[in-house]
Structure 1
Amino acid sequence: MTVKTAVIGAGTVSEVHLSGVAKNPQTDLVAICDLDFERARQAARQYDITPYADIDDLLDQESLDWLHVCTSVQSHLPLGKRAIEAGVPLLIEKPVTETIEEIEELEAFAAEHDVPVSPVHQHVFDPSMRAARRLIDAGELGQIRGVDLIYTGLSSPDEANRGTWVFDLPGGEFEEGLPHPLYSALALSGYPESEDSISSLTRLIGDYDDEFAYDAAQLQYVTEDDVLCNLKMLSSSKPRHEIYVHGSERSIHLDLILQTVQTVDDDYHLSSFKKGKEAVTRSAGYLSGLLSNAKLVADGQLNDDWETATRMNPHYAQFDRTARALERGAEMPVSLESSKWTIRLLEELRRASTPPVRTPTP
């Protein structure tokens, strides 16, 4: 059995969905839908599928097992509810909705109709993230005590990488990119113990023609397991995408750009000789990670099989895992709960970026 799949939205991000579904042996790509019918027709010709300009026509004409929603965030709730009414499971690009109220409405609607819905959180399936999760789950780090994320070099608010619709967001294109570091940190740290455990700080540093609220942000929260977390995200700076996970037995450092994971288990009180030895060990581990990644890239150039593709492309890895879950009627590999906390963190940043209303002095 293959999962009959369609994509709605023929914009920038849809290409990875179209190519991934077309290549996946578990899925059968049958249609593309976009309000701009000419754009839908161009994609349809490339993949030999049927184009549509209206979601109702798509759902009426195609017997779908899965729908990928790749439209602007403002359209996700009405499109999602229409597909859920038709009984079609959803994979929705991040963020799933703009607000907590919207995602809770979508979640309740999906539960009422017993239709699975999952967000696109592809970086959870990056090689380094999967390796880190295996170490944590195996207890190699001991008790997790803290998580620090540094995510710099994000787009400026006034860039339109994904379309001018991002300018309706308080943080513009900068905000549109924030779900990636937020859900990545949540995947390693766990969820905050409550909304009250979250604190935030934002700044608007750049000068822009449009009125944006922030282009730099910092979040702190404590998880249900008493893990202390700190997330710093900056636009218009040199890119660093790194996560440190601090455990009672050892710690790890993830470089999300180079896709390496280094283990740190040395003692603070090492002698100078042992510190030098540890530096050599770390350098060797770093080089080993780079060589492993180089081999993976080489394998991808030599092999065109789906297994290799899922190891290299995190989107493809999530598509594969989710399609298999749909076939088995199993739980989605990425839950809506993860997206709800991602949106809660985003809303906390929006709140922090809004100046308080001052009551006039009588």
Structure 2
Amino acid sequence: MTVKTAVVGAGTVSEVHLSGIDKNPRTELVGICDLDIDRAREAASRYDITAYGDIDDLLEQESLDWLHICTSVQSHLPLAKRAIDAGVPLLIEKPVTETVAELEELEAYADEHDVPVSPVHQHNFDPVMRTARRMIHSGELGEIRGVDLIYTGLSTPDEANRGTWVFDLPGGEFEEGLPHPIYSALRVGGFPESEESISSITRLVGDYDDEFAYDSAQLQYVTEDDVLCSLKMLSSSKPRHEIYVHGTEKSIQLDMVLQTIQTVDEEYHLSSLKKGKQAISRSAGYLSGLLSNAKLVADGQLNDDWETAIKMNAHYAQFDRTARAIEADAEMPVSLESSKWTIRLIEALRDSSTTTVDAPATI
């Protein structure tokens, strides 16, 4: 089966979708739709596909097996409903909706029509995340006690990396980028046990011409498995994208930028000699990870095959896994439940940003 696929939205993020669908041997790219028909035609000319200015025309003219929605978040729900009415499975860029209420409306509509819908959470398919997940599920780390995420260097609220529509969000472009660290923490730590377990705090530090609610954020929650998770996300700072997973047998440090993992399995009280050996061991592990990444990049430059591409590009990896699921009529690799908790945690930050209290606001 070849999965006939189209993309709605010809903006910044759509290029990775167009190229990934075009390269994937399991998918056939047939159309691109955008309200700006000239922009749609420009993208269509690069891939020799048909341009559309209206989603209804796209759905009527093409016999689609899959549709990618890459438009502003405010348009996701109505566009998704039109595709669901046509019975077309969906992959929707993050955040899937602006609010949990909209997400639940979409979820109910998809269930009613028996049409699968999945969010784009591509960093869950990064090599370092896949390795961490294998280590967690194999029991190598023992019982997971906590997860700490540090995600700094995010865009300031007044940047328009995705378009000016982000300025309608309380945190602007800063908020638009928050799903990435949040869904990453949910992936390794698990979902919160309840809304009541979530605490949040925000601050507005920068001085902006437009009015924004926050540009710094912190979240904490306890998962269904009693894992204590803490997330710190900052704009206007040097970039660090790191996740620490604390287990009873081993702990790991994930560097999401360098795509390396450091393992800690020694006791805290060590002699000076053992501390020296530990430092050497960690340095060797770090160097080994960098060398593996360098080899992967070299392979990518020499090989243009799809299997190499999905190892290097997390978007492509998610597209491939989802296309396989559609072929097999199987469960989507990323659930809407993950998206729901991501949005719920962002809503906690919005609630916190509207209160002027010294302690974290709890929802």
TM-score when normalising by structure 2: 0.98
Q: 1:234 to 1:66 in 2, by over 3 A?
A: same
Q: Does 1:142 align with 2:154?
A: no
Aligned to 1:212: 212
Give the C-alpha shift of residue 356 in structure 1. Answer: 6.3
Q: Which amino acid aligns with 2:237?
A: S
The aligned counterpart of 1:319 is 319
Alpha-carbon distance in 2 for matches of 1:113, 1:356: 43
**Matches for 1:10-21 after TM superposition, within 5 Å:** 10-21=10-21
Distance in 1 between residues matched to 2:211 and 2:320, nearest whole Å: 40
CA distance in 2, matches of 1:295, 1:35: 42
CA offset at residue 262 of structure 1? 1.0
Partner of 1:160: 160
- Superimposed CA distance per residue, residues 32-55 of structure 1 (whole angstroms, 9 cap, x where no aligned partner): 000000000000000000000000
Distance 1:20 1:355 in 2: 43
CA distance in structure 1 between the aligned counterparts of 2:51 and 2:268, rounded to whole angstroms? 62
Question: Separation in 1 of the partners of 2:356 and 2:76?
Answer: 30
Which amino acid in 1 is paired with 2:167?
Answer: F
Q: Give secondary structure in 1 for the equivalent of 2:35.
A: coil
- Equivalence map 1:116-135=2 (5 Å): 116-135=116-135
Q: Which residue is 1:42 aligned to?
A: 42
Alpha-carbon displacement from aligned partner over 1:267-288 (angstroms, at most 9, x marks no partner):
1011111011000000000000
Aligned amino acid, residue 71 of structure 2: T
Which structure 2 residues correspond to residues 70-89 of structure 1 after superposition, within 5 A? 70-89=70-89
C-alpha separation between the residues in 2 aligned to 1:20 and 1:236?
31
Where structure 1 has 5 or more consecutive residues not aligned to the other structure, the ranges are 358-362
Residue 260 of structure 2 aligns with an amino acid whose one-letter code is T
Q: What is the distance in 2 between the residues matched to 1:354 and 1:309?
A: 44
Q: What is the match of residue 23 of structure 1?
A: 23
Matches of residues 50-61 of structure 1 in structure 2 within 5 Å?
50-61=50-61
**Separation in 1 of the partners of 2:355 and 2:74?**
24
Q: Give the match's secondary structure for 1:42.
A: helix
Give 1:355 deviation, angstroms: 2.8
Runs of 4+ in structure 1 deviating by more than 6 angstroms, as ranges, are none
| Rounded Cα–Cα distance in structure 1 between residues aligned with 2:325 and 2:59 | 22
Helix, strand or coil at the partner of 2:257 = coil
Alignment partner, residue 228 of structure 1? 228
Q: State the 1:185 CA deviation.
A: 0.3
Q: Distance in 1 between matches of 2:51 and 2:241?
A: 38
Deviation per CA, 1:197-229: give whole Å up to 9, x if none.
000000000000000000000000000000001
- The DSSP-based 3-state class of the residue aligned with 1:285 is helix
* AA at the equivalent of 1:224: E
Whole-angstrom distance in 1 between the partners of 2:316 and 2:95: 18
What letter is aligned with 1:351? D
Q: How does 1:61-72 map to 2 (within 5 A)?
A: 61-72=61-72
Residue 278 of structure 1 aligns with an amino acid whose one-letter code is Q
SS at match of 2:88: coil
Q: Distance in 2 between matches of 1:164 and 1:99?
A: 19
Letter of the 1:200 counterpart: S
Instruction: Quote the residue 2:293 is aligned against.
Output: 293
Is 1:276 the equivalent of 2:259? no
SS at match of 2:258: coil
3-state DSSP of counterpart to 1:156 = coil
Q: How far apart in 1 are the matches of 2:356 and 2:106?
A: 30
Work out the CA distance in 2 between the residues paired with 1:349 and 1:308: 38
Determine the C-alpha separation between the residues in 2 that align with 1:268 and 1:101: 46
Letter in 2 for 1:253: Q
Counterpart Cα distance in 2 of 1:64 and 1:81: 15
Superposition RMSD in Å: 0.8
Secondary structure, counterpart of 1:333 in structure 2: coil
Corresponding residue for 1:328?
Answer: 328
Which residue pairs with 1:303 in the alignment?
303
Q: Which runs of 5+ in 2 are unaligned?
A: 358-363
Compute the displacement of 1:63 (Å).
Answer: 0.4
**Quick one: distance in 2 between partners of 1:356 and 1:104?**
29
1:360 equivalent in structure 2: none
Number of the residue aligned with 2:260: 260
The code of the aligned residue for 1:137 comes to H
Count the aligned residue pairs. 357
Cα distance in structure 2, aligned partners of 1:259 and 1:342: 23
2-structure distance, mates of 1:253, 1:70: 32
Alignment correspondent of 1:171: 171
Identity %: 82
Letter in 2 for 1:174: F
Aligned counterparts of 2:103 and 2:355: Cα–Cα separation in 1 = 26
TM-score (norm 1): 0.98
